[in-house]
Amino acid sequence: KTSQGFLKNHIKPQIGGIPLADLTSLDLQRFYKHLLDGGRVDRIEAKKKPKGLAPKTVRNIHQMIGSAYNLAIEQKLVSKNLTQGCALPKVEHKEMKTLTADQLSAFFREARDSGVFALYYIDLTTGLRRGELLGLKWTDVDFERKMVKVQRAISRQNGKVVEAPLKTKNAYRTLPLSADAISVLKIQKCKVGNSEWVFPSPTGGPMSPDSVLHMLQRVLKRAGLPRIRFHDLRHPYVKHTTKIFILRLKVLQAQRDPDRRRKTCGAFRLHRKGLKAKLIEPILQ
């Protein structure tokens, strides 16, 4: 879907009329500059954003054009890849701001008082993206097997909140749920009544992604915590599950070494126990 959007919104309107054999590196450089200066598609939800595309997006479009050139070379339509050697914008990496275990506890206490505990708790324990979280339906949740299927996302397009497919094939996945997460979801199901959505809007439909951000900042402010992005809130899950993955890998590598296996399995158990004590138990108290 993202590639189709690049093609429809940017590549075809700007350079689609130039025959591949006639396209020059200068044409590509001018195209990239246009994207940086004012390439954002005019949509209602993009009014407050900069007119130009982000450097990372321009690089992604550049990579897509480069792949097309490689295919054209294989088919002997052109002799060289003009994307090679193009000057590309530098990507500025924003520093990720994360909450400590104590700050997370304070955040969830305030979230509980504000009535949005379940939303952010499930996000922390699953690491779902904002749109994926809002796209959950009760048919996706298997309480008996303690699993949840990620099958759709909610986004705002042209001012409307709509159900959308996930960006990539790998984004469709099934995730395990902890016993605590199952308990939180059971309470949430009683709270929302007959709504098909796990986290519905007051009208019963899917919640707006913007609402989640506004609520996040309100909860942070009331709890006396620094402002963070929704993406940053997911970071503790990603960071600690990455550690667990590495430990599991080491367990597999240690299968032929009994002494190493004993030490690694012990570290794995300690990490999981410490993670729950550090992040989960204070939140539920």
Which domain CATH number covers 116? 1.10.443.10
Instruction: Kindly report, residue by residue over 65-82, the tens digit of the pLDDT.
Output: 999 899 999 998 888 999
* Of the ranges 5-14, 85-94, 192-201, the best mean pLDDT one: 192-201
User: Which candidate, 179, 142, 141, 134, places its Cα nearest to that of 161?
Assistant: 134
Does residue 117 carry a pLDDT above 80?
yes
124 and 45 share one domain:
no
* The domain boundary residue, chosen from 74, 96, 127: 74
Tell me, what's the pLDDT at 240?
46
Tell me, what's the pLDDT at 196?
95
Instruction: Kindly report, residue by residue over 17-66, the tens digit of the pLDDT.
Output: 888 888 899 999 999 999 988 877 665 444 556 678 888 889 999 999 99
35 and 123 share one domain:
no
Tell me, what's the pLDDT at 54?
86
Quick check: is 83 in a domain?
Answer: no
Question: Hey, how many other C-beta atoms are within 10 angstroms of the C-beta on 39?
Answer: 21
State the chain's mean pLDDT as an integer. Answer: 80
Quick check: is 99 in a domain?
Answer: no
- If you average pLDDT over residues 178-201, what whole number do you get? 92
Residue in the block written with tokens 């001018």: 30
The domain total for the chain is: 2
Tell me, what's the pLDDT at 3?
78
* Helix runs in 48-129, H state only: 55-74, 101-113, 117-126
Does residue 197 carry a pLDDT above 90?
yes
Instruction: Kindly report, residue by residue over 120-152, the tens digit of the pLDDT.
Output: 989 888 889 999 999 999 999 999 999 999 999
224 and 115 share one domain:
yes
* Domain around 141: 109-230
**How far is the CA of 270 from the CAs of 176, 236, 242, 243, 252, in angstroms?**
20, 17, 15, 12, 17
57 and 121 share one domain:
no
47 and 130 share one domain:
no
Quick check: is 62 in a domain?
Answer: yes
62 and 115 share one domain:
no
Tell me, what's the pLDDT at 1?
55
Tell me, what's the pLDDT at 39?
73
Does residue 228 carry a pLDDT above 90?
no
Tell me, what's the pLDDT at 40?
75
141 and 226 share one domain:
yes
Strands (DSSP E) contained in 132-177 are 141-142, 147-150, 153-157, 160-164, 173-176
- Both tokens of 283, joined, read 């939140």
Quick check: is 171 in a domain?
Answer: yes
User: Which candidate, 150, 154, 158, places its Cα nearest to that of 46?
Assistant: 158
- If you average pLDDT over residues 160-187, what whole number do you get? 89
Specify the range with the lowest mean pLDDT, choosing from 143-147, 188-192, 257-261, 270-274. 270-274
User: Which candidate, 5, 6, 43, places its Cα nearest to that of 158?
Assistant: 43
Instruction: Kindly report, residue by residue over 238-267, the tens digit of the pLDDT.
Output: 444 444 444 444 444 444 445 544 544 554
120 and 24 share one domain:
no
- If you average pLDDT over residues 179-183, what whole number do you get? 90
Quick check: is 28 in a domain?
Answer: yes
